[in-house]
Amino acid sequence: MPLPARPRFAAFTDGSSLVNPGGPGGTGFVVLDREALAVRFGGTRWVDDGPAGVTNNRMELRSVLDALHGIPGGETVEVTSDSRYVIDAQTRWIAGWRRKGWRTSTGGPVLNRDLIEEISAREAELRVCWSWVRGHVGHPVNEICDALASAAARRTDGPAAADVVGALRAQGLLGAGDEPRVVAGGFEAPRPAGQRRGQLSLDL
């Protein structure tokens, strides 16, 4: 089933590793719920990421998982990333990797398989489309995600809610009078037709 022109959720993601590979690294994400007029954002610092270590690509993948967390099953989501690796892995390469037993064209193991499969499993629960944006060209929300990821990696204060809302307005995703709620956990599930809008679940 095709997605609507305006999916309910608009998700933006970015990742950063201060030393690639090696870290420390960070993730950054912003998710707008158009239906409930709510926003969730944040970042996570990583100093170790198992045998693979901390890399830019792993932080980019983990930022997608952060963004998709808490979105109810069956909902429509547009994920915007400045990583061609992330988007191509999920939309172009994954089917071939599976056919080849998760081996690359040269016979080596596919890197970051754990995260790619985790995103794919989450994607199967939702209705997701992917969009690429060039990084560092002034896209307001991508710049906020980059700042969130960098702040997480550096363990410094990142953008606040007012900065996130301002970026969403600058990108045309919110109107001047829109004041979205900031949620800390999951978003509300779809309401039956005709049900009055209620409070968001914060899942604290």
- The residues annotated with a catalytic role in the active site are 14-15, 60, 82, 136, 146
Both structure tokens of 105: 């064209």
DSSP-derived secondary structure for 121-183: HHHHHSEEEEEE--TTS--HHHHHHHHHHHHHHHT-----HHHHHHHHHHTTSS-TT--PEE-
The answer to whether the peptide bond before residue 140 is cis (omega within 30 degrees of 0) is no
Q: Order the strands of the 181-182 sheet from edge to edge.
A: 127-132, 76-81, 9-17, 25-33, 38-46, 181-182
Contact call for residues 71 and 186 (beta carbons, < 8 A): yes
The total number of residues written for the chain in this structure: 204
